[in-house]
A = this chain, B = another copy of it.
Amino acid sequence: MQFKLTPQIAKNIKKWIANGENLQLTQLLEDVHFADIAEILEEISFSDAIYIIKLLDSEKTADILAELDDDTREKVLNGLSSKEIAEEIDELDTDDAADIISELPDQQKEEVIAQLEDVEHAKDIVELLRHDEDTAGGLMGKELVKVNENWTNITCVKEMRRQAANVDKVHTIYVVDDNDILKGRLSLKSLLTTPATTPVKEIYNHQITSVSVTENDEEVARIMQKYDLFVIPVIDEMGRLTGQITIDDIVDIIKDEAEKDYQMAAGLVEDVEADDTIFELVKGRLPWLVLGLFGGLAAASIMSGFDEALKKFPILFMFTPLIAAMAGNVGVQSSAIIVQGLANDNIKGSTWDRLLKEVGLSLVNGTILSLLVMAYGTIFNMEFLTSITIAISLLIVIIIAALIGTFVPLILHKRGIDPALATGPFITTINDIFGIFIYFYIAKLILPF
């Protein structure tokens, strides 16, 4: 049922394009889903991709274009004229159409819009382009089925028949009043199970969750998830039904959100992919590494302040990577739990409770780890005073690292900054510096140097 691009098929496609064997190509791709063709185009050269786009019917290629990843699409669109792009846009739903047009250079935008055939469609797209990308207005499409509350059941069916021609799949039938104000929804069930002359007013459901056109996209995602909605209507400032958002767009937002947090935790400046250019990868990776380097240099400076220790207890310096690693790991664990808790909105209780809990938890973990260090010291014949010094310092470093890891994201969140910033290299670097300072400071208190 699903198409799989084998090396043999890839080879054939290449050959057919080179020889201009269009019949073979169209026959192969005829029954392949547009999402699969999009995957093929991402594997082959851009000139071959453009060849296929020009060859196939624009009804199909429009959907393929919408499915491509941004980089590939940009390059493919570069190979098409404004007229050709307009033909593709004519076939697309308004939300995808607006997304693609918004990626074009400013001048080309106007050229493409001017060449659209369907004026209503063009008007809708222009309206959508006015909204910010990360708002409900930027996500919504104009395609929907709506009925007037003053109609009867049979009028609805007639009207829906007309409207459905422009809508791929009907998920919800919206009910509006004469001023287009959203009043509720009509279930297919009621439509099927009531007599043809029943007025819509008597059978529609008044309870409907909607979002404002200016609502933030993450909030839309939260609402749709919470209420298990497949579609959500979007209303304007006056309460008029202006579009609808479908869950497939929300799935993309949820994935992007999760990836953003993951990348921050891994020390990547957003949105680096394995197949980006080296220059893009350097831009995505270097900033956090420079931060880490400054942290390491700061740690080196701190240590050079304890040069007395170097003469009398050089063994302490063998354990600095251990102290730094534990401070870093504990900090990342603590901050990750807070970041996830904030994202899922399940952090309850006061800050004070949280502090006590982290201290309790770190005491347990820290004690176990310190005992392991003592065991290592015994096995390798370290001086008792030295190994107990390292063990005690480790315990205290762990507690403080956990507290820093817990509170930095909480504080960022309170100030309206994305707490995910405080995971990964950020918290590791802070904790490295604090950890090493605390380690030597405590050692100095216990050991005679």
Q: A296 within 8 Å of B by Cβ?
A: yes
One of A19-27, A80-88, A109-117, A329-337 at the interface: A329-337
CB-CB under 8 A from A349, the residues of chain B are 275
Using CB atoms, name the residue of chain B closest to A304.
B318
B328–A325 contact, CB under 8 A? yes
A72 → chain B closest CB, angstroms? 11
One of A53-61, A120-128, A136-144, A282-290 at the interface: A282-290
A residues 308-326 near B (Cβ < 8 Å) are 310, 314-315, 317-326
A333–B266 contact, CB under 8 A? yes
Using CB atoms, name the residue of chain B closest to A394.
B293
CB-CB under 8 A from A290, the residues of chain B are 368-369, 372
Interface centre among A69, A282, A325 (most CB of B within 10 A): A325
Q: A272 within 8 Å of B by Cβ?
A: yes
Partner of A188, one of B170, B335, B348, B425: B170
Q: Chain A interface: which size bin?
A: 35 or more
- Could you list 24 A-B pairs, sorted by A, with CB under 8 Å? A1-B210, A2-B209, A43-B348, A161-B193, A164-B188, A164-B192, A230-B248, A258-B262, A262-B336, A262-B340, A265-B336, A266-B332, A266-B333, A273-B341, A274-B346, A286-B368, A296-B326, A297-B322, A300-B318, A303-B318, A304-B318, A307-B314, A317-B317, A320-B321
Could you tell me the distance between the alpha carbons of A425 and B247 in the complex, rounded to whole angstroms?
35
CB-CB under 8 A from A248, the residues of chain B are 225, 228, 230, 247
A118 → chain B closest CB, angstroms? 19
Number of identical monomers bound together in the oligomeric complex: 2
| Chain A contacts to B: CB under 8 angstroms | 1-2, 33, 35, 42-43, 69, 157, 160-161, 164-165, 167, 169-171, 187-189, 192-193, 209-210, 223, 225-228, 230, 246-248, 250-251, 254-255, 258-259, 261-263, 265-268, 272-275, 278, 281-282, 285-286, 288-290, 292-293, 295-297, 299-301, 303-304, 307, 310, 314-315, 317-326, 328-330, 332-333, 335-338, 340-341, 346-349, 354, 357, 360-361, 364-365, 368-369, 372-373, 376, 380, 423-425, 428-429, 432, 436
B266–A325 contact, CB under 8 A? no
Interface centre among A285, A348, A349, A354 (most CB of B within 10 A): A285
Partner of A325, one of B258, B292, B307, B315: B292
Could you tell me the distance between the alpha carbons of A69 and B160 in the complex, rounded to whole angstroms?
40
A336–B263 contact, CB under 8 A? yes
Using CB atoms, name the residue of chain B closest to A366.
B289
Using CB atoms, name the residue of chain B closest to A231.
B230
B289–A230 contact, CB under 8 A? no
B247–A357 contact, CB under 8 A? no
Given that A274-B347, A314-B314 are contacting pairs, would A268 and B192 also be in contact in the complex, using a CB cutoff of 8 Å? Answer: no
A296–B319 contact, CB under 8 A? yes
CB-CB under 8 A from A304, the residues of chain B are 315, 318
CB-CB under 8 A from A225, the residues of chain B are 248, 251
Partner of A259, one of B164, B258, B285: B258
CB-CB under 8 A from A330, the residues of chain B are 285, 289
Using CB atoms, name the residue of chain B closest to A297.
B376
Given that A164-B192, A262-B261, A348-B275 are contacting pairs, would A365 and B289 also be in contact in the complex, using a CB cutoff of 8 Å? Answer: yes
Using CB atoms, name the residue of chain B closest to A255.
B254
Given that A255-B254, A299-B321 are contacting pairs, would A425 and B329 also be in contact in the complex, using a CB cutoff of 8 Å? Answer: yes
